[in-house]
Amino acid sequence: MDEQGISWATMIMGLAGGLALFLHGMTMMSTALKAMAGSQLKTIMARLTGNRLAAVATGCVATAVVQSSSITTVIAIGFVSAGIISLTQAIGVILGAAVGTTVTAQIIAFKVTHYAFLLIAGGFIATMLRGRPTVSRVGAMVMGLGVIFLGLDLMSSHMAPLRSHQPFLDLMARMENPLLGIIIGAVFTALVQSSSATLGVIIALSAQGLIPLYAGLALVFGANVGTTITAMLATIGQPRAALHTALSYVAFKLIMVLIWLPLLGPLEQFTRAISPTAEHLDESDRLAYEVPRQVANAHTIINLGTVIILLPFTGALAWVVIRLSGPGRRQEEDENVAPDLNPILLEQPTLAVDATRREVVHLGERVARHLEQSMIAIIDGGEARLQALRQEDDRIDRHHEALVEYVERLLQPELPPKTGMEAMHLLEAADYLESIGDVIDKDMIPLGLRRVERDLQISEETQTRIHALSEAVVQVLRESLRAIASNDEQAADSVNASKPEIRALERQVIEHQFRRLQADAAKRVTAYTIERDITEALRRIYSLTRRSARAGCGSSVVRRYEEENIAENT
Residue from 497, 509, 495, 496 nearest 538 by CA = 509
129 pLDDT tier (thresholds 50, 70, 90): confident
pLDDT of residue 558: 47
In the predicted structure, residue 355 carries a pLDDT above the cut 50? yes
The larger pLDDT score, comparing residue 232 to residue 278, is at 232
Average pLDDT over residues 361-368: 94
Whether pLDDT at 425 is above 90: yes
Q: 404 phi and psi, to 5 degrees?
A: -60, -45
Q: Which residues are CB-neighbours of 447 under 8 A, at least 6 positions away? A: 378, 530, 533, 534, 537
Over residues 467-480, the pLDDT tens digits come to: 899 999 999 999 99
Inform me whether the pLDDT recorded for 438 exceeds 90. Answer: yes
**Region 241-251 average pLDDT:** 86
pLDDT, tens digit (0-9, with 9 covering 90-100), for 81-119: 666 677 888 888 888 888 888 877 777 776 666 677 888
Q: Is the pLDDT of residue 2 over 50?
A: no
Q: Which of 439, 450, 464, 471 is nearest to 529 (CA)?
A: 450
Cα atoms in the 13 Å half-sphere on the side-chain side of 62: 32
Q: How many whole angstroms separate alpha carbon 377 and alpha carbon 382?
A: 7
Residue ranges of alpha helices (H) inside 159-239 are 166-174, 178-192, 195-206, 213-226, 228-234
Number of H helices, E strands in the chain: 25, 0
Domains of the chain (ranges, CATH numbers): 9-325 (no CATH), 343-569 (1.20.58.220)
- Please give the model's pTM, rounded to 2 decimal places: 0.64
Best mean pLDDT range from 31-45, 408-422, 539-553: 539-553
Burial of residue 182 (number of CB atoms within 10 Å: 0-12, 13-18, 19+)? buried
Identify the pLDDT of residue 512: 80
Tell me: the pLDDT tens digits for 555-570?
544 454 444 554 444 4
Percent helix, strand, coil in the chain, to 5, is 85, 0, 15
Name the more confident of 26 and 389.
389
Check the CA dihedral 456-461-464-467 and report its sign.
negative
Model pLDDT, residue 417: 86
Report for 174-178, 183-187, 196-200: range of highest mean pLDDT: 183-187
Q: Give the contacts of 124 (CB within 8 A, at least 6 positions apart).
A: 139, 143
Q: Where residue 39 falls among pLDDT bands split at 50, 70, 90? A: low
Residue 64 contacts by C-beta under 8 Å, 6 or more apart in sequence? 33, 100, 103
Rounded (5°) CA angle 497-498-502:
145
Q: Residue 47 above 60 pLDDT?
A: no
At residue 330, does pLDDT exceed 90? no
